[in-house]
Amino acid sequence: MRLLLCAENAVAGIAQTGHDVAVLVQVIVQRTGIDVHIRVQLLDVFDALREIQETATARMEQMMAELLKANPAPDKKLNQMAWVQHMNMLKAQAEEVILTELINS
């Protein structure tokens, strides 16, 4: 359980700050005292997670551009709340599609 918590924290660190996976794995190894075999497996898992994150981010940017083209946002200067609501709606749609495509498939 402790290892899983460290792994989740490390993944959050990758997503938020772009830290090098090897540095994060080293911290986990130092804190938990796990052996080299598990360290190699963690590197593989984190590399796969980083690849998924990069793919999801690129897909999100692409999908938001497509959705904005199909559904133009209101003028941000004239109606900020409507613009925010519209953008949040498009983001939610894009996230749902990406979640289905990348994670649930």
pTM score of the predicted model: 0.61
Query: Tokens 């999801």 belong to which residue?
Result: 56
pLDDT at 98 over 80: yes
The total of other beta-carbon atoms located within 10 Å of residue 90's CB is 18
Residue ranges in the chain assigned as alpha helix (H): 2-17, 21-32, 36-70, 80-98
The total of other beta-carbon atoms located within 10 Å of residue 11's CB is 18
Least confident range of 27-36, 51-60, 64-73, 86-95: 27-36
- For 53, the token pair is 């994150």
**pLDDT band per the 50, 70, 90 thresholds, residue 76:** very high
DSSP states along 80-94? HHHHHHHHHHHHHHH
pLDDT at 1 over 70: no
pLDDT at 41 over 70: yes
- Predicted local distance difference test score (pLDDT) of residue 4: 47
- Predicted local distance difference test score (pLDDT) of residue 61: 95
